[in-house]
Every structure is written in C-alpha cells, then in structure tokens.
Amino acid sequence: MPQAAARDRSPWPQFFIVGAAKAGTTLLWSRLREHPELFLPEKKEYHYFSEVQPSFQEKFVIQAVTDEKTYLRYFPQDRRSLLAGEASTSYLWEPQTARRIRACRPDARILILLRNPIDRAFSHYRMDVQLGIQPLDFRSAILEDQARSQKGWGISHLYLELGYYAEQIERYLAVFPERQVLILYAPDFKTGPGALLSSVCKFLGVDPNGLPDQEALPEDNAYVEGRHAWMRWLWKRHGLRYAGQKMIPKPLRQALRQRLMDRPAERPVIDRATHAWLLEHFEPYQARLEALLGSRARCLRNSHIRPG
C-alpha cells in the first residue's frame, strides 16, 4: 500500500503526467490505469490547471474543465489506498501551471516524458492532418504557426515551442524539489518499456509488479486521415468519443471509425532541407536541456524519422 495514499486527505490528485505532447503520454497514462494501486480517470486531458483559450476549444476541439467542483468530481474522495493522478499535456508548456499545481498540491509527484523535438513536432503535425485541421505541408505549417502574432495553448499549434523542454522543466524545478519530479525519455518505451514503467512505479511508491506484460507495445498502425473533418469535429467536440467508449463495444467502435471517419492515406514525410533546418533550430534548446539534465538527455538528439 502506498503510504502517502493511506493517510492522504487532500481531494486533489497526488501525481500529474504533464507532457510533453506527442511524446507517449497516452501510452503511459493507459498503462498506469491498469495498476491496482493507482487511480486515473478514464478521460485524459482535463487541462484544469492551464489556460485553454475559448478559440482553441472551438477550432481545435479541446474541452477543458474550469470548475473546481467539476474537476474534483472525477477523483473519488473515498480512494482508500489508491494513489490518484491525471494527465494533461498542456501542463508542461503553460507557464503558470506548475505554480498552480503546487498551490493545491505541494507534495505532488510530476512525471515529464520527453521525445526528440523534431519527431514530436512531426507527430503533432501528422495528428493535425489526420484530424482535418491542417491542410499545409509540414514546413509551411510551421512557418505559418511561427508567424502568428499571438502564441498560446489554443491560440497557435506550437509545433516548435512545445519542444523547448528546458525552460518548461525549469518552471517545475523552481517550485518542486527534484525528488518530486521524474524525467522520462520516449526512446525507453521502445527499448525497455518494462524498466521505464518500473521506475515510474517506484517513483510513485507502488508495487512495480502491479502492471502486467510490460514488454508488449502496440504496433504502429496503418496511417489514415480524416474522411470528413466535420464528423471528427462532432465526435470530439461534444464528448461523443467518451460516451461511445462506455456504450459501444470496442470492436464495433473501431469498425465504425474506420467506416465513417478514416480513410487510408500515404504518410507525410519530412524533406531533407526541412529536417536539416529543424536540427539547426533545435540545437541551442537541446544544449540547454543537456546542461539542465546531464548526458542522459543526449538520447533526444536521435531522430527516428528519416527524411524523404
């Protein structure tokens, strides 16, 4: 039994997966939900501690919980020995989130999962293409995003800015002691998922053996794009996705999605010039990260996306 959970009386979650976006947080969140000593709500991304702009909710279909009572309702107050957590990837980028979490939960455990910033940005771009909200090629999408006069979660895509990890981590280390912050690296999910998840369990103070079959990872799915952008918008904007998860069996959900929402498509690729440009762009940010975290962060220099 996690000792902190046994005597905890605070209504707030005890740990937070804060990002980075498109770095593997959904996989981490889904695996931790399988642990009998942990409680994570079945919905990911509440964004309660972040500033999510109304324009983002309308255009990019992000639903944020802004009311304290509503937010806490997702976490049962009679948790007994369960350690409660949540995952919202806006928390790493949003400048005030670390301070807000600490104000509610000074003993919170913070999990930060990092990925090569080029791979992260390209995965982010591919997601937007699949959702039907990004019609441009990769380089043009970045340049358009960089040209926006206003920046923010919900105001712009933040394709590059979400990969400026050092300054984001520094905000957490400024308000939480290092022992409460765990830095994880996305490549470890490929090379040793069991070891990574074991380190997370030890960090949270729960039994590392509580998670089954941690060497098995989901295979990379065939690439698809949105068949109808309006249908994807309706599916996500009005919470139909989460209602469907409760009411419709998974095999039928997958069949309906493939039939109504997805169409096979050729995977986008990064051209060599754009890849070289991004390598140069991210170099000072990577150097700053290595100065902060040490040599372990060098693994993020390895891009797993091959330019075409």
pTM for the full predicted model = 0.84
Residue 136 domain-assigned (yes or no):
no
**pLDDT greater than 70 at residue 210:** yes
* Higher-pLDDT residue of 231, 277: 277
Q: Is residue 199 part of a domain?
A: yes
Residue 201: give the domain boundaries. 3-122+153-223
d(CA 203, CA 17): 13
Q: Within a 10 A sphere around the Cβ of 156, how many other Cβ atoms?
A: 19
How far, in whole angstroms, is CA 301 from its chain's centroid? Answer: 20
Q: 71: how many CB neighbours lie within 10 A of its CB?
A: 21
Residue 17 has pLDDT above 80, yes or no: yes
In-domain check, residue 112: yes
Of the listed ranges 40-54, 94-108, 194-208, 277-291, the least confidently predicted one is 40-54
The total number of structural domains that make up the chain: 1
| Model confidence pLDDT, tens digit, residues 78-134 | 767 789 999 999 999 999 999 999 999 999 999 999 999 999 999 999 988 887 788
At 53 the pLDDT is: 62
For residue 290, pLDDT over 50 is answered with: yes
Task: Write the DSSP symbol of residue 263.
Answer: E
Kindly state the tokens that stand for 194.
Answer: 């069991």
- Mean pLDDT across the stretch 166-191? 97
Which residue type, as a one-letter code, is found at position 60? F
Residue 102 lies in a domain: yes
What's the burial of 154, exposed, middle or buried (CB within 10 Å: 0-12/13-18/19+)? buried
Give the mean pLDDT of the chain.
84
**pLDDT tens string 250-269:** 566 656 656 665 556 567 78
Residue 302: half-sphere exposure toward Cβ, Cα within 13 Å: 9
Query: What is the model's pLDDT at position 214?
Result: 63
* Residue of 38, 186, 214 whose CA lies nearest to 112: 186
Q: How confident is the model at residue 248 (pLDDT cuts 50, 70, 90)?
A: low
Q: Is residue 305 part of a domain?
A: no
Residue 182 maps to a domain: yes
Per the domain annotation, does 174 fall within a domain?
A: yes
- Per-residue pLDDT of 20-37, as tens digits, reads 999 999 999 999 999 999
Beta bridge partners of 38: 83
Neighbours of 205 (CB within 10 A): 16
Interval 149-161: pLDDT, tens: 888 887 889 999 9
Q: Is 239 domain-assigned? A: no
Residue 73: give its domain's CATH number. Answer: 3.40.50.300
Measured CA to CA, the distance from residue 297 to residue 5 in angstroms comes to 31
Q: Where are the alpha helices (DSSP H) in the chain?
A: 3-6, 25-32, 54-59, 68-73, 90-93, 97-104, 117-131, 138-146, 165-173, 187-191, 193-204, 229-237, 240-247, 250-260, 272-293
Are residues 26 and 89 in contact, defined by beta-carbon separation less than 8 angstroms? no
* 5 has pLDDT over 60: no
